[in-house]
């Protein structure tokens, strides 16, 4: 998305979204998906909670204002559309902004124009930040003072979980709305609408398609309206005026639009899943292929690197502790050098992780410990483990009879370190793979030493 400089003529063109006429040269028209973008609540499909009675859009229209909001959902589900309708419903000046192509400097320029506009005519600006998760958490701070001052209403769009992708300060100042993928029935309705609409759609071409063909196109869209409409437009072009879109035509159209579909976010789901499962299955060739798919369609390399860091602990763990070190180093390298060179760093990390011995023992261990905490609550810390910085606490028995392991044979004492209620609990169970095999043996040895030296008479 390009950044609009503040100007009434541009704003009116952007918010009003004038419809192209059939007489226009088709080559000069925007893509079908852009032309068919809903212009009002009544055209919105699949988001009854947002567009229905009492929803965000209705409340905004009734009050003439809207809160800053983060729209979280998969590609093609309508995040940009909701932002545009919010601007129309409230009369706010709409400024689209891409976190991929713009940075903090451009944010300052937008805010300066918004501040001038607010002072001159009292009209706030709705700043729509597409892919807001591409800003790092420090850059996101640039929005905070202007949201608080009311200079801008921030509407951000993200495909990633805001809890992880956005900083806490920003999240505390916005409302989060979750948008689900469009259902196939909604996509069929949208495709039929596009096929017959004579103002914005393909109506003037007279192209036809049977219901099963539209259902197939909807299924291929997989919840993404842009993908489904792009495939329909390609199929209509192949069928020609007065033609019929058949399964054979769809096959040709899908082959032409598949890569574009992936580039719009499919990688965040199936392709990333295939990468992680190939790593877990120790297949470096498959892992490199899925990595290449992600890179080729323009996925954010930082997103990939973060998933590798998670994988290093979740699926390799202590079977090879170097995995986490390498994955973190890869993430730093990606930030440092960027693409295209960062592909080499990612390739190194992926092949290493694929060939590492695998263990999820640490992952299972922390989850088991968390479950114990939730089940038993805040159990008391044994007195010999408590801190004793003052004479009063010492008198109360804090730290009394604590054994210093470094002074004991083998570095292992007789004391227990869990609360009494959990003295038999076992959370970590090392596997016999990789370095964890040695840890398994050492853990068994230390437990045996502790049992042999225990002074606790309880069974």
In 3-state terms, what secondary structure has residue 456?
coil
pLDDT at 361 exceeding the cut of 60: yes
Higher pLDDT, 10 or 107: 107
**CATH architecture of structural domain 266-355:** Up-down Bundle (1.20)
pLDDT at 269 exceeding the cut of 60: yes
381-402 pLDDT, tens digit each: 777 777 777 777 777 777 777 7
Range name among 155-169, 229-243, 267-281 with the lowest pLDDT average: 267-281
Is 263:285 a contact under the CB 8 Å cutoff? no
Element containing residue 110 per DSSP (H, E) = helix 104-121
Range name among 22-26, 259-263, 436-440 with the lowest pLDDT average: 22-26
pLDDT at 69 exceeding the cut of 90: yes
- R_g of the chain computed on alpha carbons: 29
**CATH architecture of structural domain 374-453:** Orthogonal Bundle (1.10)
Kindly report the backbone phi and psi dihedral angles of residue 411, in degrees, each rounded to the nearest multiple of 5, phi listed first. 70, 20
Domain spanning 184-263: which CATH class is it, in words? mainly alpha
What are the CA-CA distances from residue 301 to residues 157, 202, 297 (Å)?
19, 37, 11
What are the CA-CA distances from residue 284 to residues 109, 272, 278, 334, 355 (Å)?
46, 14, 7, 20, 7
pLDDT at 456 exceeding the cut of 60: no
Selecting from 2.40.50.140, 3.40.50.300, 3.30.70.360, 3.40.50.620, what CATH number does the domain 8-178 have? 3.40.50.300
Domain ranges for the chain: 8-178, 184-263, 266-355, 374-453
The contacts of residue 161 (CB under 8 Å, 6+ apart) are: 72
pLDDT band at 330 (very low <50, low <70, confident <90, very high): very high
What are the CA-CA distances from residue 317 to residues 302, 353, 361 (Å)?
21, 11, 7
Range name among 312-321, 324-333, 435-444 with the lowest pLDDT average: 435-444
Q: What is the model's pTM?
A: 0.53
pLDDT at 18 exceeding the cut of 60: no
Summarize the confidence of residues 119-134 as an average pLDDT: 88
Alpha helix ranges (H) inside 197-246: 211-221, 225-239
What's the gap between Cα 168 and its chain centre?
Answer: 16
| Neighbour-count burial of 211, counting CB atoms closer than 10 A to its CB (0-12 exposed, 13-18 middle, 19+ buried) | exposed
Q: Tokens 């609990």 belong to which residue? A: 425
Q: What is the pLDDT of residue 4?
A: 30
| Neighbour-count burial of 364, counting CB atoms closer than 10 A to its CB (0-12 exposed, 13-18 middle, 19+ buried) | middle
Picking from 364, 349, 369, the residue whose alpha carbon sits closest to that of residue 431 is 364
pLDDT band at 6 (very low <50, low <70, confident <90, very high): very low
């Amino acid at each position: 998305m390009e950044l609009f400089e503040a100007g009434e003529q541009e704003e009116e063109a952007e918010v009003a979204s004038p419809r192209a006429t059939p007489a226009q040269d088709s080559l000069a028209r925007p893509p079908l998906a852009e032309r068919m973008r809903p212009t009002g609540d009544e055209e919105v499909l699949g988001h009854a909670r947002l567009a229905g009675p009492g929803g965000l859009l209705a409340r905004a229209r009734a009050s003439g204002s809207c809160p800053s909001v983060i729209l979280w959902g998969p590609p093609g589900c309508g995040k940009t559309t909701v932002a545009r309708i919010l601007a129309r419903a409230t009369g706010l000046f709409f400024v689209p902004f891409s976190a991929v192509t713009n940075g903090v400097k451009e944010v300052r320029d937008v805010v300066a124009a918004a501040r001038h506009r607010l002072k001159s005519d009292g009209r706030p600006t709705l700043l729509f930040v597409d892919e807001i998760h591409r800003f790092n958490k420090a850059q996101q701070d640039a929005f905070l003072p202007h949201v608080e001052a009311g200079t801008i209403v921030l509407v951000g769009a993200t495909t990633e979980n805001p809890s992880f992708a956005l900083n806490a300060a920003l999240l505390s100042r916005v409302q989060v709305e979750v948008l689900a993928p469009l259902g196939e029935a909604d996509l069929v309705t949208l495709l039929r609408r596009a096929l017959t609409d004579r103002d914005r759609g393909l109506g003037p071409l007279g192209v036809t398609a049977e219901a099963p063909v539209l259902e197939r196109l909807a299924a291929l869209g997989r919840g993404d309206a842009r993908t489904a409409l792009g495939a329909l437009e390609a199929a209509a072009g192949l069928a020609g005026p007065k033609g019929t879109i058949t399964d054979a035509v769809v096959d040709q159209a899908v082959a032409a639009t598949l890569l574009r579909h992936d580039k719009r976010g499919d990688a965040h789901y199936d392709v990333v899943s295939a990468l992680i499962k190939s790593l877990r299955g120790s297949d470096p060739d498959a892992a490199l292929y899925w990595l290449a798919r992600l890179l080729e369609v323009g996925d954010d390399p930082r997103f990939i690197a973060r998933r590798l860091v998670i994988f290093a602990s979740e699926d390799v763990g202590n079977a090879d502790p170097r995995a986490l070190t390498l994955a973190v180093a890869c993430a730093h390298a990606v930030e440092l050098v960027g693409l295209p060179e960062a592909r080499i760093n990612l390739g190194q990390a992926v092949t290493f992780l694929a060939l590492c011995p695998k263990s999820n023992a640490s992952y299972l261990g922390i989850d088991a410990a968390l479950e114990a905490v939730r089940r038993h609550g805040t159990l008391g810390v044994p007195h010999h483990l408590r801190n004793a910085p003052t004479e009063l606490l010492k008198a109360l028995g804090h730290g009394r009879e604590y054994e210093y392991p470094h002074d004991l044979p083998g570095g292992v004492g007789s004391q227990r370190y869990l609360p009494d209620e959990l003295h038999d609990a076992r959370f970590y169970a090392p596997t016999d793979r990789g370095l964890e095999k040695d840890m398994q043996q050492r853990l068994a040895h230390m437990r045996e030493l502790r049992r042999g030296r225990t002074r606790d008479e309880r069974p």
